[in-house]
């Protein structure tokens, strides 16, 4: 047997069409009545055309399930055996009759799925098939039923293992649990023809063991959910189920990142702009470091605005709306100092902080340093939502390292990650498919629409300095029109409207 445990080797083996899943031995038996029949009929153990067809069946089933609803359903279900709760929630969402009985049968099948079958597991398969495909002559219905059962079996033990590992790990970020303690620790393949992996010759019929748990240690982006072309189709569902079962407490601001539509976060630069946006019903407000710096007559991105940033946070903290502060790179390369700033922002009332890895000289801070700042903040102020920003696209540097940087940041404890400047739909989709935490994208007028970003799974959309630049441009245009004798656009908030933003409790002023 060949064993691979380096990340690049395992990745190469998973992508090699010559290496196919090993079908555990066993006699098939009559259709619909044994674990060996089930294994021979599901996507998980086949390759080529049957795999494409069966995987399409599974994907169509999963497309009917909204991960957020699964999270809610599993969280609301009575406490009890995790396996049963996972499978029951899925079976119910798939509209299967008697989901409780389905779950009990699936748990029995799961125990025999990767090994030799047993009588109890064969009987459980027969019971499940009788429910899902009552006509034993209908081959297409039998194949569909097998793959619905296979999906539940795949979900059962892996999701339960994740929930148990997360419970044992205390406050360790889920992204790190997934990397360090992967629920599927190893997979087997068999060579359908001769091939070479990492310089090693593999002969037809050779068995190959892929050690995911060890491979994950040599790379930031884990292989926990496999890799194309067989990457786990239930990843989003697994994460939602695990979330619902673990029930780590979320702040009101964090909850805004876990809704069906992304959080649209407008960025303010002073108290009035923040209060005006909050009055329009935006559930949370961000700040823009460019706006704050420019308003104070300071350059952005060079660590010059710590006082202006703190002063604005203190002022916003007087309001009754949620806000998050753009704090450049934390105004220091000392993680302890950044954590102290974060603590002061939180004390001022901030619900979140945005922390970037881009530097004033156009380079990127080392990912390890940025991760150390994130960990230090989360250790000092666990309730503060850390949005870890990478400037790989913003600065046009190391764009190919984006996924790896984000993986490092979420494993360090970031609650969300942000990639300003990224607008390519495929690249955004690849990131949302690989991340555990919510992805934030910067809205740009020539980039994807809000609808596009919603479909891609983006969970937060901010507008950066756009509103500040628009407000400045409107002020300048109004003055220029006046000077040139052109008609002046006087639409805007009234004097008292603006007064009301500053003193909503009714203090009255009469000067202009
Ligand atoms: C933390 C939980 C989970 C982990 C770590 C996990 C991991 C994996 C991995 C590594 C594979 C690839 C196997 C291979 O390449 O041979 C896989 C396949 C699969 N998973 Fe998951 N899985 C999880 C949960 C789920 C859930 C919840 C579902 C369904 C709702 C699911 C459905 C499937 C299916 C149907 C396959 C077979 C896909 C194929 O062979 O094309 N998994 N999973």
For the packed helices 335-348 and 367-380, what is the interaxial angle rounded to 10 degrees? 40
Q: For residue 235, how far is its CA from the centre of ligand 1 (angstroms)?
A: 7
The pair of three-digit structure tokens given for residue 409, joined into one six-digit string:
């940041």
**Any idea what the CATH number is for the domain that residue 416 is in?**
3.20.20.60
Spatial distance between the Cα atoms of 198 and 176, rounded to a whole number of angstroms: 27
Same domain for 282 and 215: no
Residue after which a domain boundary falls, among 246, 270, 293: 246
504 within a domain of the structure (yes/no): no
Nearest CA to ligand 1 atom 11: 232
- Confirm if 488 and 478 have CB atoms less than 8 A apart: yes
What's the gap between Cα 390 and its chain centre?
A: 15
Q: Which domain holds residue 74?
A: 2-246
Q: Which residues on adjacent β-strands are paired with residue 326?
A: 354
Calpha distance 272→284 (Å, rounded): 14
Atom 24 (ligand 1) nearest CA: 155
CA distance 89 to 402: 35
Phi, psi (rounded to 5 degrees) for 364: -105, 140
494 located within any domain: no
Tally of residues, the chain:
512
* 147 Cα to the center of ligand 1, angstroms: 12
Residues 37 and 89 in one domain: yes
Calculate how far, in angstroms, residue 39's C-alpha sits from the geometric centre of ligand 1.
Answer: 14
Strand partners, 364: 358
Q: Is residue 213 in contact with ligand 1, taking CB distance under 6 Å?
A: no
Residues 340, 209 share a domain: no
pLDDT of residue 255: 95
For ligand 1, the distance from its centroid to the CA atom of residue 137, given in whole angstroms, is 29
116 Cα to the center of ligand 1, angstroms: 20
Any atom of ligand 1 within 6 Å of the Cβ of 230:
yes
Does residue 228 sit in the same domain as residue 275?
no
Q: What is the pLDDT, as a whole number, of residue 510?
A: 46
Ligand 1 within 6 A of 155 CB?
Answer: yes
**Which atom of ligand 1 lies closest to the CA of 238?**
27
Ligand 1 atom 7: residue of nearest CA: 225
In this structure, is residue 490 part of a structural domain?
no
- Ligand 1 pocket check for 110: Cβ under 6 Å: no
Domain end (from 202, 226, 246): 246
Nearest to 337 by CA among 310, 376, 299, 288: 376
Query: How many angstroms separate the first and last alpha carbons of the chain?
Result: 84
Residue 506 lies inside a defined structural domain of this protein: no
Indicate if 336 and 311 belong to the same structural domain: yes
What is the predicted pLDDT for the residue at 28? 67
Cα of 45 vs centre of ligand 1, distance in Å, is 12
What is the CB neighbour count within 10 angstroms for residue 53?
13
- 303 CA distance to ligand 1 middle (Å): 45
Tell which one of 17, 160, 232, 233 to mutate to probe ligand 1, the residue whose CB is within 8 A of the most ligand atoms. 232
Both 257 and 208 in a single domain? no
Pairing state of beta strands 19-21 and 186-191?
antiparallel
Residue 414 in domain: yes
Q: Is residue 77 part of a domain?
A: yes
Whether residue 274 is found in the same domain as residue 154: no
Q: Is the CB of 233 under 6 A from ligand 1?
A: yes
Q: Which two tokens stand for residue 191?
A: 């060579």
Residue 148 CB–ligand 1 contact under 6 Å: no
Q: Are residues 261 and 344 in the same domain?
A: yes
HSE value, Cβ hemisphere, 13 Å, CA-based, for 188 = 11
Distances (CA, A) of 64 to 32, 57, 67, 225: 24, 11, 10, 20
Residue 227's DSSP bridge partners are: none
In a domain, residue 479? The reply is: no
Measure the CA–CA gap between 447 and 202, rounded to whole angstroms: 46
Q: Which atom of ligand 1 is nearest to the CA of 45?
A: 40
The Å distance, Cα 151 to ligand 1 centre, comes to 8
383 burial via Cβ count (<10 Å: 0-12, 13-18, 19+): middle
For residues 314 and 221, give the distance between their C-alpha atoms in angstroms, rounded to a whole number: 38
| Whole-number Å distance between alpha carbons of 122 and 112 | 9
106 closest CA partner among 50, 167, 158, 171: 158
- Per-residue pLDDT at 505: 59
Q: Kindly list the averaged pLDDT for each block of 10 residues, start to end, along the chain of length 512.
A: 96 96 78 91 95 97 93 90 96 95 97 85 95 87 96 97 94 96 96 96 97 97 95 97 92 93 97 96 97 95 93 95 97 98 98 97 97 98 98 97 98 98 97 97 96 96 97 96 94 91 60 48
Residue whose CA lies nearest to ligand 1 atom number 36: 232
Structural domains of the chain, count: 2
Domain limit, last residue, from 246, 265, 283: 246
Judge whether 499 lies within some domain: no
Q: Are residues 440 and 341 in the same domain?
A: yes
On whether both 366 and 262 belong to a single domain, the answer is yes
Best of 23, 158, 243 for a ligand 1 pocket test (most atoms within 8 Å of beta carbon): 158
What does the pLDDT read at residue 117?
A: 65
Q: Residue 69 sits in a domain of what CATH number?
A: 1.10.630.10
162 touches ligand 1 (CB under 6 Å): yes
Nearest CA to ligand 1 atom 32: 234
3-state helix, strand, coil in the chain (%, to 5): 50, 10, 40
- Using CA atoms, how far residue 211 sits from 2, 15, 188, 270, in Å, is 11, 15, 9, 53
Residues with Cβ within 8 Å of 6's Cβ and at least 6 positions away in sequence, in order, are 198, 215, 218
Do 231 and 272 belong to one domain? no
Enumerate residues 6+ apart whose C-beta is below 8 A from 214: 5
Give the position, in ligand 1's atom list, of the atom nearest the Cα of 21: 16
The answer to whether residues 193 and 334 belong to one domain is no
What is the rounded CA–CA span in Å between residue 20 and residue 192? Answer: 7
């Amino acid at each position: 047997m060949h064993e691979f445990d380096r990340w690049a080797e395992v990745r190469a083996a998973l992508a090699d069409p010559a290496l196919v899943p090993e079908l555990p031995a066993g006699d098939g038996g009559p259709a619909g009545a044994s674990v060996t029949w089930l294994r021979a009929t599901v996507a998980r153990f086949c390759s080529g055309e049957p795999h494409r067809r069966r995987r399409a069946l599974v994907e169509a089933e999963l497309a009917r399930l909204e991960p957020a609803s699964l999270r809610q359903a599993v969280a609301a279900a009575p406490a009890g055996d995790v396996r049963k709760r996972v499978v029951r929630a899925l079976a119910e969402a798939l509209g299967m009759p008697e989901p409780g009985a389905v779950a009990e049968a699936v748990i029995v099948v799961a125990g025999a799925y990767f090994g030799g079958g047993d009588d109890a597991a064969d009987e459980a398969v027969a019971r499940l098939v009788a429910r899902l495909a009552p006509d034993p002559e209908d081959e297409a219905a039998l194949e569909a039923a097998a793959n619905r059962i296979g999906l539940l079996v795949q979900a059962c033990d892996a999701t339960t293992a994740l929930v148990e590992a997360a419970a044992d790990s205390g406050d360790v970020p889920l992204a790190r649990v997934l990397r360090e303690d992967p629920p599927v620790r190893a997979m087997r393949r068999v060579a359908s023809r001769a091939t070479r992996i990492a310089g090693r010759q593999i002969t037809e019929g050779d068995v190959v063991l892929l050690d995911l748990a060890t491979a994950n240690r040599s790379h930031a982006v884990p292989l926990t959910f496999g890799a194309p072309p067989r990457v786990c189709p239930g990843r989003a569902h697994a994460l939602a189920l695990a979330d619902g079962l673990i029930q780590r407490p979320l702040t009101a601001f964090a909850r805004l990142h876990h809704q069906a539509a992304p959080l649209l976060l407008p960025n303010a630069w002073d108290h009035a702009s923040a209060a005006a946006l909050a009055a329009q019903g935006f559930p949370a407000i961000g700040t823009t470091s460019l706006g704050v710096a420019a308003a104070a007559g300071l350059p952005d991105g060079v660590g010059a605005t710590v006082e202006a940033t703190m002063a604005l946070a203190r002022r916003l903290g007087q309001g009754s709306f949620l806000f998050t502060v753009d704090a450049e790179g934390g105004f220091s390369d000392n993680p302890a100092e950044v954590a102290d700033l974060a603590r002061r922002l939180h004390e001022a009332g901030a619900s979140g902080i945005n922390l970037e890895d881009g530097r004033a000289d156009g380079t990127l801070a080392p990912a390890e340093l940025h991760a150390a700042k994130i960990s230090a903040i989360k250790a000092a102020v666990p309730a503060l939502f850390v949005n870890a920003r990478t400037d790989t696209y913003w600065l046009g540097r190391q764009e190919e390292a984006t996924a790896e940087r984000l993986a490092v940041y979420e494993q360090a404890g970031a609650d969300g990650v942000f990639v300003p400047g990224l607008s390519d739909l495929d690249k955004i989709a690849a990131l949302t498919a690989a991340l555990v935490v919510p992805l934030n994208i910067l809205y740009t007028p020539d980039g994807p629409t809000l609808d596009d970003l919603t479909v891609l799974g983006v969970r937060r959309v901010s507008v950066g300095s756009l509103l500040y630049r628009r407000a400045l441009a409107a002020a300048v245009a109004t003055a220029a029109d006046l000077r040139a004798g052109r008609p002046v656009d006087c639409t805007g908030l009234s004097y008292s409207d603006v007064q009301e933003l500053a003193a909503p409790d009714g203090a009255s002023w009469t000067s202009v």
